[in-house]
Amino acid sequence: MTHYLKVNYSNGAIQESSKEPQEGFEKNEWSVGNKSGVNYKKIYREPVEGTLVDVKFRDTQYGQRVSFTLKGDEYYNIEFPFLMGEEVNPFTTDFVRQLPNLQRGRTYTVNAYVYQPENAKYPYRGFTFRVDGEKVEKSLSYQSAKNEDGDIPSIVWEEKMGKKKPNFDNRNEYLYNFLQKHIGENFSKDENASTPEPTKTEVKKPSIEDLPF
183 or 161, which is more confident: 183
Residues 151-161 have pLDDT tens digits of: 999 999 999 88
- Its pTM stands at 0.86
Q: What letter does residue 142 receive in the DSSP assignment?
A: B
User: Contact 130/113 with Cβ under 8 angstroms?
Assistant: no
Residue 153, classified by CB atoms within 10 Å of its CB into exposed (0-12), middle (13-18) or buried (19+), is middle
Residues 33-79 have pLDDT tens digits of: 999 999 999 999 999 999 999 999 999 998 999 999 999 999 999 99
